[in-house]
């Protein structure tokens, strides 16, 4: 059964916006689903995320970073994703393993084979059935993310990743596109440099086709 759907893309590409909208739409169509996200899909993952995103941890070793994301994933897969899939629910997940390959592989330069070993072990070999990749120029994504942070109450909510260089984010974008090239059947490439509704229509179509839902 094809039920595990992930949303990927650089900061500010609209993942959280689109996952929320499509979840509302699918719920109205009586599709049984959960929405979750990494690394904060569990209470333990949320705490791990606190360490990962804290700007004070700017000297974090890239291996530590990778292990922490995978640690959060192990918890998430066991406690949230697998149980929902076993109940026959669709799981819409904001970021998953591809983000580790893109950020810690393409971005930080860690060996992909090693990431694969740790990630496969952490995720119990669970792979997404469908991945929507939201692609747009990094300058546009970061501008959106900055604007979003300005609107949040806390004055400087920009995290350890968002404050990385433009060059780092360009590597992430390229890394994601490489993942797509290596596994084209799993991915749906979405041009995220358009307005929210246009993108949402495409997201609905893509997911509805995949789960055989009449629009
Ligand atoms: N298509 C869009 N056009 C313009 N702004 C957008 C679009 N999609 C999302 N945004 C805004 O950009 C910011 C980042 O979007 P968000 O969904 O949080 O991205 P992500 O979860 O990928 O980091 C938010 O303030 C959101 O309201
Ligand atoms: Mg988000």
SS3 percent helix, strand, coil of the chain, rounded to 5, is: 55, 15, 30
Closest C-alpha among 205, 194, 215 to residue 134: 194
Q: Which residue's CA is the nearest one to ligand 1's atom 3?
A: 195
Q: What is the pLDDT of residues 99-126, one digit of tens each?
A: 999 999 999 999 999 999 999 999 999 9
Domains of the chain in start order, with CATH, are: 4-210 (3.40.50.300)
Closest CA to 211 of 33, 53, 39: 33
pLDDT of residue 79: 98
Atom number in ligand 1 closest to CA 194: 1
Would you say 140 and 173 are in contact if contact means Cβ atoms under 8 Å apart?
no
Q: Ligand 1 centre from 13 Cα, in Å?
A: 6
Ligand 1 atom with least separation from CA of 195: 1
In tens, the pLDDT along 139-190 reads: 999 999 988 888 775 545 689 998 899 999 999 999 999 999 999 999 999 9
Question: Could you tell which of 6, 16, 144 is best to mutate to test the pocket of ligand 1, judged by most ligand atoms within 8 Å of the CB?
Answer: 144
pLDDT in tens, 35-83: 999 999 999 999 999 999 999 999 999 999 999 999 999 999 999 999 9
């Amino acid at each position: 059964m094809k039920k595990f759907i992930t949303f990927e893309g650089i900061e500010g590409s609209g993942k959280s916006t689109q996952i929320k909208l499509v979840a509302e739409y699918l719920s109205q169509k009586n599709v049984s689903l959960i929405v979750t996200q990494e690394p904060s899909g569990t209470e333990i993952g949320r705490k791990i995320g606190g360490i990962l995103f804290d700007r004070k941890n700017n000297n974090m070793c890239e291996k530590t970073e990778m292990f922490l994301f995978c640690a959060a994933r192990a918890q998430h897969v066991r406690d949230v994703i697998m149980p929902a899939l076993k109940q026959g629910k669709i799981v819409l997940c904001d970021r998953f393993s591809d983000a580790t390959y893109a950020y810690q592989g393409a971005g930080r330069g860690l060996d992909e084979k090693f990431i694969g070993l740790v990630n496969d072990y952490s995720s119990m070999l669970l792979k997404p059935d469908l991945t929507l990749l939201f692609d747009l120029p990094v300058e546009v994504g970061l501008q959106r993310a900055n604007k979003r942070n300005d609107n949040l109450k806390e004055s400087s909510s920009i995290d350890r990743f968002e404050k990385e260089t433009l060059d780092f984010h360009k590597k992430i974008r390229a890394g994601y596109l490489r993942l797509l090239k290596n596994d084209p059947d799993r991915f749906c490439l979405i041009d995220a440099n358009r307005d929210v509704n246009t993108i949402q229509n495409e997201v609905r179509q893509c997911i509805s086709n995949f789960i055989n839902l009449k629009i």
